[in-house]
A = this chain, B = another copy of it.
Amino acid sequence: MADRLTDEEQALWHAWKQAAEAVRARVGADITADTGLSDVDFAVLTRLVDLGRGTVRQNELAASTGWHRSRLSHQLTRMEQRGLVRRRSVEGGVEVHITEAGSTAAAAARPVHAAAVRRHLLDRVPAAQAEALRALLTDLAT
């Protein structure tokens, strides 16, 4: 165990960092350019729709995204100001509702998102490699 990465290790590490950053940036840019939503906005809106047909408890939203409460709170504040969601105090917590504008934006963004993910990631993974990659990534996330 040397204190520096070997050339081979460096190569894999750099490739990893570059790819992760490139895919993230490209998908995000495509969504933003076409819909005005950030990738994070999109993540929240789709969860509102998919998890609760437009209404989800804030706590459940935090669990689903894996974000800290404060991050979600700040994010929802900004989205509320832009008219994408509304919050409503309810027993035992807060309910987050998607607005008309939020629904419209989410519906418009959905195909853009799917196309961007395919173009920048999915379509570039050889079919023979896909399953092994998925397994590896799942393990890495653990």
Q: Which residues of A contact B (CB under 8 A)?
A: 1-5, 9, 11-13, 15-16, 18-24, 110-111, 114-115, 117-118, 120-122, 124-126, 129-130, 132-134, 136-141
B20 and A118: CB pair below 8 A?
A: no
With A13-B122, A16-B121, A23-B16 known as contacts, the answer to whether A2 contacts B137 (CB < 8 A) is no
A5 neighbours in B (Cβ, 8 Å): 114, 117-118, 122
A140 neighbours in B (Cβ, 8 Å): 19, 22-23, 120-121, 124
Extra A-B contacts (17), CB below 8 Å, given A16-B23, A22-B141: A1-B114, A1-B115, A3-B114, A5-B114, A9-B114, A9-B118, A13-B117, A16-B121, A16-B137, A18-B137, A18-B138, A18-B141, A19-B140, A19-B141, A20-B20, A23-B140, A133-B136
CB-contact partner of A3 in B111, B126, B138, under 8 A = B111
CB distance from A1 to the nearest CB of B (A): 8
A13 neighbours in B (Cβ, 8 Å): 117, 121-122
